[in-house]
Amino acid sequence: MSLGDLRTSIAIVGAGQAAARAVQELRALGHTGTITLIGAEAHRPYERPPLSKAVLQGDGQGYTPVLSESVFAELQMEFIPTTRVTSLHLDEHRLTLSDRRSVHYDRCLLATGGEVRILPALPPGCLHTHYLRTIDDAQALRDRLRAGGSLAVIGGGFLGLEAAMSARQAGMNVTVIESAATLLGRFVPPDLSEWIASSAIARGIDLHLGQALRSAQAMPEGVRLTLQDGSSLDADAVLVAIGLVPQVELARQAGLALDARDGGIAVAANGRSSHPDVFAAGDCASQFRPFLGVSARLESWQNANEQARAAAAGLLDISPPQAAFPWFWTDLGEHNLQMLGLKSTDLNYVHRRLDADTHRGVWLGLRGGIPVHGVALNAGADLRALRTLLERQIPIDHRQFTDPTTKLKAWVQSQLAATAVPQS
Ligand SMILES: Cc1cc2nc3c(=O)[nH]c(=O)nc-3n(C[C@H](O)[C@H](O)[C@H](O)COP(=O)(O)OP(=O)(O)OC[C@H]3O[C@@H](n4cnc5c(N)ncnc54)[C@H](O)[C@@H]3O)c2cc1C
């Protein structure tokens, strides 16, 4: 059987966002061979973004599948849940599973995502300690949320803040401990970072910025945390949300190339790893980003979907679709934050303020007058209107952008027209 044949057998390791989208895309591209999907979790692929939002805010029950039951059945894959792939034998084109079975493949996709970064003082399983990556984690945390109770969140990143807002909504007394001096400072412009901090405080969240944890003690009735400045606080429960470690052990053991900077499995634009028959997608994969000019591992829902589409094409030796401009969203309480591109330290931010009272608006990070990073607070439609300017790196007149009376869509068209190459 020649590789690139639509009848090849494909094994997918991990049954999360990227895996599900890859199966869907493989079938859409005409693949008719067997697809074996092996997942460590007991569940069919489900969406993780609701875990820190709707699942914590609701009754903790139920979750959103990536593929509906009928679509899942139509795609005709062999699904092996509750099973880990323990090794990848490149020369034999074979996977070993935790139940000692073997799965042979022509081509393999690693969609193993990542694992929570562990705080040694409060490892998983420690009394009253929670981490948040899976639906089971979310349900366990939801069970601890009750009005008048207290939750300490270690880590003020997106996930920590989302969970803090959800817990606050459930009536918990919430404390967030963040070692950086600002909230989300690596992702948003300084004035927005300050606004996010003040809106968290206004919501009743007790914020400790620039404070690392010195020690933690789990006791029968709760957890005592001691901070760097010597102060201490008690909470009924603690959520550790200090980031993600890419799940690359199989790749490492098999000798696949990993990115030296971010530790992800190094892949080409079509998802191909350093072995021609092994591909990777999602949180575990590091790829050169044409829009950013660097290799990066992006931990986002959109990236998992887009890399899965590219890898599905790669698995079938079809040219991948053009890379999508990086997009990310989060909901912080009732506020929606969206981003296009990535922040870097050399950007000069301009702000289009749409509402003086609520800070609603759009920011563009400019490099030499060219927008390379866009951020919108409760203004996702405006950010969408700007996407082409960022994708095509069109220099803008920032005074017109910041003027709230400027009609955005018409203005974007005018900026594009001003730089269009005349037809001869
Ligand atoms: C709580 C939470 C909230 C989020 N909110 C947002 C948001 O608002 N916006 C946004 O853009 N992104 C958000 N994300 C990020 C987004 O969900 C992830 O980027 C996305 O799920 C990554 O998909 P993936 O397929 O790479 O990994 P995953 O969805 O994590 O799937 C990987 C799967 O592989 C399995 N696996 C790993 N190793 C093995 C093995 N050896 N054998 C078998 N199975 C294995 C894992 O158990 C897991 O089920 C959020 C993530 C979390 C956890």
Condensed to tens digits (0 to 9), the pLDDT of residues 296-308 reads: 999 999 999 999 9
Q: What is the CATH number of the domain that holds 349?
A: 3.30.390.30
307 and 399 fall within a common domain: no
Domain that holds residue 74: 10-114+245-315
Q: Give 52 Cα–ligand 1 centroid separation in angstroms.
A: 13
101 and 153 fall within a common domain: no
At residue 417, φ and ψ (nearest 5 deg) are -65, -35
Which of 266, 288, 315 is where one domain is finished?
Answer: 315
Q: How far is the C-alpha of 196 from the C-alpha of 201, rounded, in Å?
A: 9
Residue with tokens 């967030």: 176
Q: Give 97 Cα–ligand 1 centroid separation in angstroms.
A: 20
236 and 385 fall within a common domain: no
Tokens of 356: 């003086």
pLDDT at 146: 93
Indicate which atom in ligand 1 lies nearest the CA of residue 303.
19
pLDDT at 1: 41
Residue 328 included in any domain: no
Q: How far is the C-alpha of 226 from the C-alpha of 214, rounded, in Å?
A: 5
Q: What is the CATH number of the domain that holds 37?
A: 3.50.50.60
122 and 107 fall within a common domain: no
Which one-letter DSSP state was computed for residue 324?
P
Kindly report the CA angle at 279 between 278 and 283, in degrees rounded to 5? 135
Which of 191, 223, 240 is where one domain is finished?
Answer: 240
177 and 125 fall within a common domain: yes
Residue 148 included in any domain: yes
Please tell me the residue having the least CA distance from ligand 1 atom 3: 49
57 and 99 fall within a common domain: yes
Q: How far is the C-alpha of 68 from the C-alpha of 83, rounded, in Å?
A: 22
Type of residue found at 385: A
Q: Give 244 Cα–ligand 1 centroid separation in angstroms.
A: 10
Residue 3 included in any domain: no
Q: How far is the C-alpha of 413 from the C-alpha of 411, rounded, in Å?
A: 5
C-alpha torsion angle, residues 92, 94, 96, 97 (rounded to 10): 180
Candidates 129, 79, 75, 72; CA nearest to 103 is 79
Which segments of 264-366 does DSSP mark as H helices, in order?
Answer: 301-315
Kindly state the helix (H) or strand (E) to which residue 217 belongs, with its residue range. Answer: strand 213-219
Tokens of 173: 């007394």
Q: Give 269 Cα–ligand 1 centroid separation in angstroms.
A: 21
Residue 320 included in any domain: no
Q: How far is the C-alpha of 156 from the C-alpha of 175, rounded, in Å?
A: 10
pLDDT at 379: 96
Report how far apart, in Å, the C-alpha atoms of 192 and of each of 136, 183, 346, 358, 383 are.
Answer: 33, 9, 17, 11, 15
**274: burial class by Cβ within 10 Å (0-12, 13-18, 19+)?**
middle
Q: Over the chain (424 residues), what is each successive 10-residue block's mean pLDDT?
A: 73 98 98 98 97 88 90 97 98 97 97 97 95 96 95 97 96 97 95 95 97 92 95 97 98 98 97 98 95 91 98 97 93 94 94 87 96 97 96 93 93 87 58
157 and 110 fall within a common domain: no
State how beta strands 370-377 and 244-246 pair: unpaired
pLDDT at 292: 82
Number of separate domains in the chain = 3
Residue 176 included in any domain: yes
343 and 415 fall within a common domain: yes
Candidates 140, 134, 116; CA nearest to 60 is 140
Condensed to tens digits (0 to 9), the pLDDT of residues 134-154 reads: 999 999 999 999 999 999 999
User: Who lines ligand 1 at CB under 6 A?
Assistant: 13-19, 38-41, 48-49, 51-52, 84-85, 111-113, 132-133, 159, 247, 250, 282-283, 299-302, 304, 328-330
